[in-house]
Amino acid sequence: MSHDIDVDALIVGAGPSGLYAAYYAGFRGQSVAVMDSLPEIGGQVCAMYPEKLIYDIAGFPAVRGRDLIASLAEQAGRYGPRYVLGEEARSLEYDDGAPVVTTSAGLRVRARFVVVTGGIGTFTPRPLSALGEYQDKGLVYFVPRPEDYRDRDVVIVGGGDSAFDWALTLSPIARSVTIVHRRETFRAHEALVAQVRELGVPVITSAEVVAASGDGWVETVEVHAKRAGETTRLPAQAVVAALGFTADIRPLESWGLRVTERRLAVDTRMATSLDRVYAAGDITDYPGKVRLIAVGFGEAATAVNNAIAALDPEAPLFPGHSSDHVAGIPVSPAPEPRPAQQAASPAALAASTR
């Protein structure tokens, strides 16, 4: 079977878990390729909240999303992984027992084993249909560069963590920030909601953004309060629709993987239902699963170690601590973003314009 790239380990997904899996496979002496449908590394972190502070990474009291990805890329870069960006992992076949993954651009990557860390698949934001005509004219779904919103009036639509995270991020920069949510209760963490309220950010509940106006760019929005039955107009040169996103894991399902509620079922070795295919990160599912970036790091190391041990019975499952090994390995630079080979999702467009 012909192929374009031949490596020991193929990592599908270039988010935090995927980058750590690339580092760990390199640490174990494996040649590595990293594949992602987005045109740059970082996954959801860079596409959705690059400026957000993350507080639950061990050893970092707080680390900005963009900085975390840069550090992970530097760590993985010590072993020179090859990046295949802007190409979705479409199909899986086997060549003499080795998995061969074909991308959306027709590239074929043969590997001794595969580790799928692709979050929850290719993701696209849920649209704010009432303002569809203002897409890219003030209506956005991600905020790659908060500084772009300096001295603007910003309306954020949504009631989850992302909505309140953006309110915290933008309130010191924007002229005004208002949250509009269609329910009385929030999906966001209570402490996060309280922090936003303490800043004096107006939070309008049981209300919806129903229309907007502006000459070529949004200038005002109309907010309809469902209980009062009244509609008010707010200034808004930017509307952030933080309504969540939908995931598409159909390509992975077509591989024949066992999927439960859009997640890949794995055992304690992080092995999936397919031979030589492992998984790590948010995409995995097993009893007691906790979806944290920190957990994904451990799963990535577990997957790589077990994959190597399964392929080579002479190889140890645990290779020893990294501090026991010789340092001084040169660092390869992180890959430069390049255009996607397929139609770009809003998430990919947001990431590629940073």
- The arithmetic mean of pLDDT across residues 224-229, rounded, is 91
Looking at the structure, tell me whether residues 253 and 320 fall in a common domain.
yes
Looking at the structure, tell me whether residues 159 and 89 fall in a common domain.
no
Note the pLDDT of residue 245.
Answer: 72
Rounded to whole angstroms, the Cα distance separating 142 from 347 reads 7
What rounded mean pLDDT belongs to the chain?
88
Last residue of some domain: 241, 267, 300? 241
Looking at the structure, tell me whether residues 9 and 113 fall in a common domain.
yes
- The arithmetic mean of pLDDT across residues 335-348, rounded, is 44
**CA atoms in the 13 A half-sphere facing the CB of 31:** 9
Q: Which residue has the tokens 């909601």?
A: 193
Looking at the structure, tell me whether residues 97 and 144 fall in a common domain.
no
286, burial (CB in 10 Å: exposed 0-12, middle 13-18, buried 19+): middle
Residue 125, strand partner residues: 245
Could you write out the DSSP letters of every residue in 197-218?
Answer: HHTT--EE-SEEEEEEE-SSS-
Looking at the structure, tell me whether residues 115 and 260 fall in a common domain.
yes
Looking at the structure, tell me whether residues 118 and 65 fall in a common domain.
yes
Amino acid at 190: E
> Would strands 108-116 and 98-103 be described as parallel, antiparallel, or unpaired?
antiparallel
pLDDT in tens, 198-224: 999 999 999 999 999 999 999 999 999
Of 121 and 268, the one with more pLDDT: 268
- Cα 177 versus chain centre, distance: 25
Looking at the structure, tell me whether residues 225 and 322 fall in a common domain.
no
Looking at the structure, tell me whether residues 146 and 173 fall in a common domain.
yes
Could you write out the DSSP letters of every residue in 205-272?
Answer: -SEEEEEEE-SSS--EEEEEETTTTEEEEEE-SEEEE---EEEE-HHHHHTT--EETTEEE--TT-B-
> Would strands 153-157 and 238-241 be described as parallel, antiparallel, or unpaired?
parallel
Of 112 and 340, the one with more pLDDT: 112
Task: Give percent of the chain with pLDDT exceeding 90.
Answer: 66
- The arithmetic mean of pLDDT across residues 72-82, rounded, is 97
pLDDT in tens, 127-173: 898 998 998 899 998 887 889 999 999 999 999 888 998 899 899 99
- The arithmetic mean of pLDDT across residues 19-23, rounded, is 98
Looking at the structure, tell me whether residues 114 and 133 fall in a common domain.
no
pLDDT in tens, 82-100: 999 988 899 999 999 999 9
pLDDT > 80? residue 239: yes
Last residue of some domain: 193, 212, 241? 241
Length of the chain equals 354
The most confident of the ranges 52-61, 138-147, 270-279 is 270-279
Listed residue (123, 161, 140, 143) closest to 15, CA to CA: 123
Tally Cβ neighbours within 10 Å of residue 287: 4
End-to-end CA distance of the chain: 39
CATH number at residue 232: 3.50.50.60
Yes or no: say if 169 and 51 are a contact pair by the CB < 8 Å rule.
yes
Contacts of 25 (CB under 8 A, 6+ apart): 8, 9, 11, 32, 79, 115, 304
Looking at the structure, tell me whether residues 141 and 195 fall in a common domain.
yes
pLDDT > 60? residue 66: yes
Structural domain count, the chain: 2
Tally Cβ neighbours within 10 Å of residue 258: 13
pLDDT band at 310 (very low <50, low <70, confident <90, very high): very high
Query: pTM to 2 decimals?
Result: 0.74
Give residue 136's domain range: 127-241
- The arithmetic mean of pLDDT across residues 4-33, rounded, is 97
The most confident of the ranges 156-165, 242-251, 313-322 is 156-165
Task: Give percent of the chain with pLDDT exceeding 70.
Answer: 90
- The arithmetic mean of pLDDT across residues 235-254, rounded, is 86
29, burial (CB in 10 Å: exposed 0-12, middle 13-18, buried 19+): exposed
pLDDT band at 334 (very low <50, low <70, confident <90, very high): low
Question: Rounded to whole angstroms, what are the CA distances from 111 to 3, 20, 39, 353?
Answer: 10, 18, 22, 32
Looking at the structure, tell me whether residues 259 and 225 fall in a common domain.
no
Yes or no: say if 325 and 338 are a contact pair by the CB < 8 Å rule.
no
Looking at the structure, tell me whether residues 39 and 113 fall in a common domain.
yes
Last residue of some domain: 209, 241, 273? 241
Rounded to whole angstroms, the Cα distance separating 354 from 346 reads 13
Return the beta strands (E) in 50-202 as ranges. Answer: 53-54, 63-64, 82-85, 89-95, 98-103, 108-116, 122-125, 139-140, 153-157, 176-180
pLDDT band at 338 (very low <50, low <70, confident <90, very high): low
pLDDT > 60? residue 11: yes
pLDDT band at 262 (very low <50, low <70, confident <90, very high): confident
